Structure 1
Amino acid sequence: MDHHDEKAHGVRITARGPRAAIEVDGSRLDPGSLSGYTISHQEGEPPHVVLYVENDDAVEFEGLARVAVARPVPIELTVAEFLAAIDPEELESAVLARPDLDTGPYSLTRAMLTQLGEWARGD
């Protein structure tokens, strides 16, 4: 890890159950100022930590993971974007080819919802 990277910060996260204590460069963050965090890491790169803030003025950083501050995206926007990206012809073709499609009441709708769920999970 390159300790000379100016964008890198020392990060310590101690998680116990649903709570976590987070320190950036030795300073503990107010737990009420954050709604969550994610950590990702790719070989050859420092870990990447994203902190989700509750309000803009509650978190302060001075500036060894890369730290980004983000607001959570409302689930409604994520779902709306996902549905807007669905090609109706592709959905219909996939559903009509499903082995679990039957002829009972609401079977087409059930199959479409199942297919959309599988696509959302990346199946």
Structure 2
Amino acid sequence: MRFDGRSYAVVVNGQDVSEHVAAVDVHAVPHDLPRVVLHLRPTGAWPTELDLLARVEVGVSPEPGPAAAAFLEALDPLELERAALGRMDLENVSGGGTAAVLRQLAEWARGA
């Protein structure tokens, strides 16, 4: 992207594609490549000569791994253990404690 103080231009491989772009999102997290999403205008046609310059994802959700890792790293292990052991659905069977922990994590991940 170029900005001259008054206006901006979206440039891909030296070609100005601003007329095709409605919005630009930039997302960056530490230790990962930044992701730039170009939202095309509904009536715009993307220049076919630029198709090979970027990875195109249509309707693909981002990988959940980094978000899941950040969620898990933020948890207090003692709080998780107390919550899992206090669950009404805790079963006294092999794997019952682990199942309770997983159910608790799923509830917290959903915001419950």
TM-score, scaled relative to structure 2: 0.50
RMSD over equivalenced CA pairs, Å: 3.4
State the 4+ residue runs in structure 1 displaced beyond 4 angstroms.
Answer: 30-33
Give the aligned partner of residue 34 of structure 1: 56
Percent of matched pairs sharing the same residue: 33
Which structure has more helix as a fraction of its residues?
2
Q: Could you say what secondary structure the match of 1:35 adopts?
A: coil
Q: Mind listing any 5+ residue stretches in structure 2 that lack a counterpart?
A: 1-6, 9-21, 24-38
More relative contact order, 1 or 2 (CA 8 Å, 6+ apart): 1
Q: What code does the residue aligned with 1:99 have?
A: M
Give the aligned partner of residue 89 of structure 1: 78
Alignment partners' CA distance in 1, 2:85 and 2:91: 10
Q: After superposition, what is the alpha-carbon deviation per residue over 1:10-61, rounded to whole angstroms, capped at 9, x for unaligned?
A: 8xxxxxxxxxxx7417423479853136xxxxxxxxxxxxxx8xxxxxxxxx
Which structure has more strand as a fraction of its residues?
1
Q: Offset of 1:79 from its aligned partner? A: 1.4
The structure with the larger Rg is 2
Q: What code does the residue aligned with 1:93 have?
A: R
1:24 to 1:98, Cα distance in 2 relative to 1, 3 A = same
Alignment partners' CA distance in 1, 2:44 and 2:104: 46
Alignment partners' CA distance in 2, 1:112 and 1:121: 14
Alignment partners' CA distance in 1, 2:108 and 2:45: 39
Q: After superposition, what is the alpha-carbon deviation per residue over 1:47-76, rounded to whole angstroms, capped at 9, x for unaligned?
A: xxxxx8xxxxxxxxxxxxxxxxxxx75322
TM-score, scaled relative to structure 1: 0.46
